[in-house]
Structures are given as C-alpha cells and as structure tokens.
Amino acid sequence: MLLNIVIFIVGLVILSWSADRFVYGASALAKNIGISPMMIGLTIVAMGSSAPEIVVSAIASANGNMNTAVGNALGSNITNVALVLGITALVKPLIVSSITLKRELPALLIISLIAIGFMFDGELKSYEGIILLGLFIFVLAMMAWLSLQVDKEDPLVAETAGEIPKNVSTTSAMIWIGVGLVILPLSAHFMVNSAVEIARYLGISDLIIGLTIIALGTSLPELAASIAGVLKGEDDLALGNIIGSNIFNLLAVLGMPGLIAPGMLDPDVYNRDMYVMLGLTLLLFLFSFDLIGKRTISRPNGFLLVACFIGYQFWLFG
C-alpha cells in the first residue's frame, strides 16, 4: 500500500512536469513558426492544461478501467470549478472582463449538456466517443478562428502573450516536445496502476478513485497556476484555463473511454456525478456571465464553491 502511494505521488509529479514541458516546447515552436500568442494560448496552452487528464484517461481505458477514466473526466471538472476556482477566489476575487471568455462559457454549458445526454442511458457507446473527439477537434479549430477575431483591447490578449515562452530555439522546443510525448504516457501508466491498487486496498470503486484521487491529483497544477495568475492580475487567463480545461475534459477525456473501452457506466455516474458537474457549471456561468461590463467572482462565491466541494466529498464517502 505504502509503495503504491509513493508510486502514485512520484507519477503525479512527473506527469505534471512532463505536461508542462510539452506545452512549453509546443508553445515555443508555434511562436517560432509565426503563430500568434492568442492562438497559442487558446489552443496549445488550453489543451496542455488537460494533457494529464487526457493521457490518464487513455491509459485507464486501455487497461480496462473505463469508469476510472469517466470519473477522471467528471471529477476533474468538479474539482476545477469547486476547489480550484473556489480557492482562487478566496485568495483574490476574479474580475471577468474578457469577451472571449463570455463566448466560451455558453460553449461549456452546451458541451456539458451534450455529455450528459450521452451518459443519460447508462452507457457510453463507441460512436458517442467518436462524436466527442470530433467535437474536440472542431472546438480547437473554432478557438483558433476566434483568436484571429478577438479585439486587440481584450485583456486576455496581453495576459496570454505574457505566458508564451520567449527566446527558445526550435531545437530546444522540439526536444521538450519529445520529452513530453515519451514521459507523459509512462508516468500516467504507473500513476493509474498504483491508483487502482490503492482503490482495491481501500475497497472503493474504480469510479471513486477517478473522481477523487486521480481528479484531485491532475487538477493540482491548475490550482497552482490559477492562484499564481490572479496574484499577477491575470484574472481572465486564470478563469480561461479552467473553462478551457473543462471543455477539453468533456470532449477529449470523456471521449477516450467511449472510443477505447465503450460499455456500461457505474450507476452513480448518471444518478449523481453528472448532475453535480452540471450544477457547478451553472454556478460558474451565473457567477461569471454579465451581458454588460465586468463581473466579479467574489470571496463569498469562492466560499460557496469550496463548501460544495467538501459536501460532495462527504456524499461520496458517506
């Protein structure tokens, strides 16, 4: 048991590091070949924040742990909104001023409803996984198009430009991409296997391990990035990372088990977890969306989100 805990923690650290290096290399390479910082931020960086979840989901699905992968997708979204955004708002209230984000929020809500529609019958089918992954490619293309249309005065433009690596040679960028592509799946493999062993030892289901330990572990880098972002005044970028990550979790992470290991879902998925995720997505929408001017996600909002996360954990283990 102790060895599996150590393997899980080491695997998580290496997974997070390799995902960061992959995004670093891909962003630097994109900049070197002339892609705009806004396009890099809305596609490569946004997708990179979900890279650990995507790889973990693929490995878990390939190993036959379909509900672990589904739990990872839903649990990561729940953790991102309730814990990551909640704690970030407690540290410093977020001012939502980017028009780009106000376009992405309705998209997140629509995608959440599509995902719930697919899970509603208690089964994730192969064609549903294909549709989700197809939508993932479509959303990436739309984000790339939006990056070309965005107003140069949008605060997200300056915040995104500040996060793109500078003065990185193309050779170094390609080396980091290669490192990420090799180490990401290896670390995910050890992390998933150790998590499954921990679940068996504790007598909990594959779904619960995905919803809690794996989801929390893969969301910790986003928590650190979000807090660092708001402390630097990059509120829109911090929130944008969470919205983008949640969109990609529902499309790419949830699409993996549908494509690789379609089958019956744990009943708790369609009786409990997907509704918790939808409820938190609606809260995020209400806290963030304003037709005119700016909207603040306040400390009381953050307290409510963290309280929801704690209550959900008691529900899972009660």
- How far, in Å, CA of 127 to CA of 124, rounded? 9
What pLDDT does residue 162 have? 64
Provide the pLDDT for residue 227: 85
Task: Spell out, as residue ranges, where the chain has pLDDT lower than 50.
Answer: none
Closest CA to 44 of 60, 23, 25, 29: 23
> Which pLDDT does position 249 carry in this prediction?
93
Q: How many CB atoms lie within 10 A of CB 273?
A: 27
The b-or-e profile of 5-44 (16+ CB within 10 A means b, else e) is eebbeebbebbbbbbbbbbbbbbbbbbeeebbbbbbbbbb
Structure tokens belonging to residue 159:
């915040």
Give the residue from 84, 52, 19, 48 showing the smallest Cα distance to 218. Answer: 52
For the chain, give the percent of residues with pLDDT over 70: 90
> Can you give the pLDDT at residue 305?
96
Nearest-angstrom CA–CA distance, 1 and 234: 41
| C-alpha count within 13 angstroms, C-beta hemisphere, residue 308 | 26
Per-residue pLDDT, 144: 77
Tell me the C-alpha distance between 73 and 138, whole Å.
19
Task: Tokens for 312, please give them.
Answer: 């959900």
CA angle (226, 81, 258) in 5-degree steps: 110
pLDDT for the residue numbered 135? 95
Check if the beta carbon of residue 240 is closer than 8 Å to that of residue 88.
Answer: no
Distance, CA of 147 to CA of 42 (rounded, Å) = 7
Spatial distance between the Cα atoms of 208 and 247, rounded to a whole number of angstroms: 21
Structure tokens belonging to residue 95: 């001012």
Q: What is the pLDDT of residue 20?
A: 83
Q: Which of 111, 94, 103 shows the shortest CA–CA distance to 287?
A: 94
Return the pLDDT at 32.
Answer: 82
Q: How far is CA 85 from CA 79, 148, 243, 297, in A?
A: 8, 28, 10, 9
CA nearest to 81, candidates 293, 294, 288 = 288
